[in-house]
């Protein structure tokens, strides 16, 4: 039965069309210049802004673009080894975030201080705060976690952002970064010129490096992402970049079928992420729940 389903799927004309695509259709071979936009960065925890898009932040800042970093939670649950009291640990993480942003050239971060690992339940309150920022700061691009991240706060941050897609300008760009879960990226930023800044910013997060060698993991991912870029690029940050109107279209498909639409190949911006969902996550109740939650907030 399973083999029959597969053979039917591969015999489908849509899959035949995919087979005609070359490497350049499915993976960027040139670096994307992110500069020239007012950038808002949503970091569920202090460190995510640096791990996910620290090099890109530095490039924005070097170009004179306003960059606003918002740290959504207090990060207290990262205090696994209990070397510090919770209050001390929260204070240390805030100081680390300030120093990391200074190194990257961004303004002092804003701290919302929602309790760590509670963001799903805080989406209604967080909506009000994000609405104020959208009105006051007027970002032209937002960097955020994708809904494929495995940390619940990361997925909640993605859901929070997606609830606004009905209210924002069609031209607003959303760049989903990757930390917990690699994406089918459609945009690569060569961060080699600012690599030393990113590494220095990562090293600031001593509370996190005590738990795990994030510098090695994150910079290894960045190294891998440079595989398709020409020399002298050595490190890159990958993004799934969508215009708001593309996300609206995707959400309308969710509304109709509660599952991602059937893809015609990797030809568009959002199609490049959705086959990943379809193949690996399309029938998983956890992601179906996420999608339903996003939709519930979206239509309110
Ligand atoms: Zn995080």
Q: Does 297 have pLDDT greater than 60? A: no
How close is the Cα of 47 to the center of ligand 1, in Å?
7
Which residue has better confidence, 155 or 258? Answer: 155
**What confidence category does residue 166 fall into, taking pLDDT thresholds of 50, 70 and 90?**
confident
Return the domain boundaries, the chain.
28-259+268-299
**What pLDDT, on the 0 to 100 scale, is given for residue 230?**
97
Answer for the pair 58, 90: CB distance below 8 angstroms, yes or no. Answer: no
Query: In this predicted structure, which of 160-164, 197-201, 243-247, 287-291 has the lowest mean pLDDT?
Result: 287-291
| 258: alpha, beta or left? (left if phi > 0; alpha if psi -120 to 50) | left
Q: What is the DSSP letter of 261?
A: P
How close is the Cα of 28 to the center of ligand 1, in Å?
26
**What pLDDT, on the 0 to 100 scale, is given for residue 273?**
47
Q: Does 182 have pLDDT greater than 70? A: yes
How close is the Cα of 186 to the center of ligand 1, in Å?
22
Q: Would you tell me how many other CB atoms lie within 10 Å of the CB of residue 155?
A: 25
pLDDT over 90, % of the chain: 59
How close is the Cα of 241 to the center of ligand 1, in Å?
20
Kindly report the average pLDDT of the chain as a whole number.
Answer: 83
How close is the Cα of 36 to the center of ligand 1, in Å?
27
How close is the Cα of 154 to the center of ligand 1, in Å?
6
How close is the Cα of 5 to the center of ligand 1, in Å?
38
**What confidence category does residue 209 fall into, taking pLDDT thresholds of 50, 70 and 90?**
very high
How close is the Cα of 117 to the center of ligand 1, in Å?
10
The CATH T-level fold of domain 28-259+268-299 is Rossmann fold (3.40.50)
How close is the Cα of 147 to the center of ligand 1, in Å?
13
Answer for the pair 61, 108: CB distance below 8 angstroms, yes or no. Answer: no
Q: What is the pTM of this model?
A: 0.85
**What confidence category does residue 247 fall into, taking pLDDT thresholds of 50, 70 and 90?**
confident
């Amino acid at each position: 039965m399973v083999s029959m389903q597969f053979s039917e799927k591969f015999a489908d004309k849509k899959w035949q069309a995919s087979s005609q695509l070359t490497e350049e259709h499915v993976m960027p071979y040139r670096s994307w210049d992110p500069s020239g936009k007012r950038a808002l960065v949503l970091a569920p925890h202090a460190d995510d802004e640096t791990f996910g898009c620290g090099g890109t932040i530095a490039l924005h800042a070097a170009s004179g673009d306003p960059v606003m970093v918002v740290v959504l939670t207090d990060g207290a649950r990262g205090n696994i080894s209990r070397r510090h009291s919770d209050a001390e640990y929260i204070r240390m993480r805030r100081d680390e975030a300030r120093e990391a942003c200074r190194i990257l050239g961004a303004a002092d971060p804003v701290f919302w201080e929602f309790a760590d690992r509670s963001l799903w339940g805080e989406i209604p309150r967080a909506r009000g705060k994000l609405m104020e920022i959208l009105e006051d700061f007027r970002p032209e691009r937002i960097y955020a976690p994708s809904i494929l991240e495995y940390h619940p706060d990361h997925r909640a941050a993605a859901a929070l952002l997606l609830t606004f897609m009905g209210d924002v300008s069609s031209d607003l760009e959303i760049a989903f970064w990757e930390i917990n879960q690699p994406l089918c990226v459609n945009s690569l930023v060569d961060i080699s010129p600012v690599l030393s800044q990113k590494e220095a910013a990562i090293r600031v997060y001593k509370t996190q490096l005590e738990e795990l060698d994030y510098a090695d993991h994150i910079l290894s991912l960045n190294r891998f992402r440079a595989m398709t870029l020409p020399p002298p690029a050595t490190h890159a940050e990958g993004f799934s970049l969508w215009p708001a109107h593309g996300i609206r279209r995707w959400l309308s498909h969710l509304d109709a079928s509660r599952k991602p639409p059937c893809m015609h190949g990797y030809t568009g911006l959002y199609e490049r992420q959705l086959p990943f969902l379809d193949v690996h996550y399309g029938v998983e109740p956890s992601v179906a729940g996420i999608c339903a939650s996003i939709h519930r907030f979206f239509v309110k």
